[in-house]
Structure 1
């Protein structure tokens, strides 16, 4: 009877120690990666509140699966993968009404005289209109700091495919910048 009591007490102490260790590991993970995850989510989603929710869900799932993380060096990739899946789950839950864009009238509620945008706003908009296959690797590289190899691993692509997509994304941005510069010249001249 005393032996059982001692065993139970040892198990309870071990469980408490494991929980404290897991909590410390989790808190360290959140402190180290929260800003990067939010920045990536915001670029991916383009809505502050939804990005915050997706990041929160990402870290909740990370907490639940923390014991399955074997490679400490892969934490950022692991979190990005969770975040991307969380973002995809948003669309699985919602049923959107589709409307043909060409048939929908768009109200121009911005006065042309007040149209002043910074280069950063312009760049964000241009990146936002890139096709997903080009936008996602570019954001992962620029915002997430991923290498070509890491992006290839995350997106399950060949590294050469990733590098080609990055090259094409940059060229699309360059072309858009040149077109904007030409149109500015013609409207100013």
Structure 2
């Protein structure tokens, strides 16, 4: 084995050790399915192995891997013919600090109910830790659209979690 191949193999092993859990959680949040998340994560590392020379700065590995994963997901998903709007009907919960304890299943269910146009920017912001401008550039949409979609996605989730809190709060008589 050549020194370059050995170095690439060691670097890929390091990337798997460091980012596998994050990428799997991100893939699961995008797809909502454990098997799809496993496939997306494995495909991400296969592409990363082939293109490892493109990663010039190890500090950008997280973003690079998340971008590969997101692009794989977007290629896999078929676009709906009619866009779904979250406008107007969603009001922000009165006190966002009073959020209920959520299970992973409850969070995933809420994310699954978000239309893809809102879910992807939200996950890019929180999982990939991308700025509004980076999301705008990656998705080729205006900055204002990114801000609007993030705000609507957050409002939707707050509304959803607020109703969960109301369902789980004991009634005092």
TM, length-normalised to structure 2: 0.69
Equivalent residue, structure 1, for 2:51: 65
What is the deviation of 1:66? 0.9
The structure-2 alpha-carbon separation of the partners of 1:71 and 1:157, relative to structure 1 and needing over 3 Å to count, comes to: farther
The structure-2 alpha-carbon separation of the partners of 1:89 and 1:184, relative to structure 1 and needing over 3 Å to count, comes to: same
Bigger share in helix: 1
The structure-2 alpha-carbon separation of the partners of 1:154 and 1:184, relative to structure 1 and needing over 3 Å to count, comes to: same
Equivalent residue, structure 2, for 1:50: 36
CA contact (8 A) 1:77 1:154 kept: no
C-alpha distance in structure 1 between counterparts of 2:61 and 2:122, whole Å = 20
The structure whose Rg is larger is 1
Unmatched tracts of structure 2, length 5 or more: 79-100
What secondary structure is seen at the aligned counterpart in 1 of 2:51?
helix
Q: Is residue 2:151 matched to residue 1:167?
A: yes
CA contact (8 A) 2:63 2:128 kept: no
Equivalent residue, structure 1, for 2:134: 150
Unmatched tracts of structure 1, length 5 or more: 1-14, 93-117
Q: CA RMSD in A?
A: 2.9
The structure-2 alpha-carbon separation of the partners of 1:133 and 1:89, relative to structure 1 and needing over 3 Å to count, comes to: closer
TM, length-normalised to structure 1: 0.64
Equivalent residue, structure 2, for 1:34: 20
The structure-2 alpha-carbon separation of the partners of 1:177 and 1:86, relative to structure 1 and needing over 3 Å to count, comes to: closer
C-alpha distance in structure 1 between counterparts of 2:9 and 2:168, whole Å = 55
What is the deviation of 1:58? 0.8
C-alpha distance in structure 2 between counterparts of 1:156 and 1:77, whole Å = 17
What secondary structure is seen at the aligned counterpart in 2 of 1:119?
coil
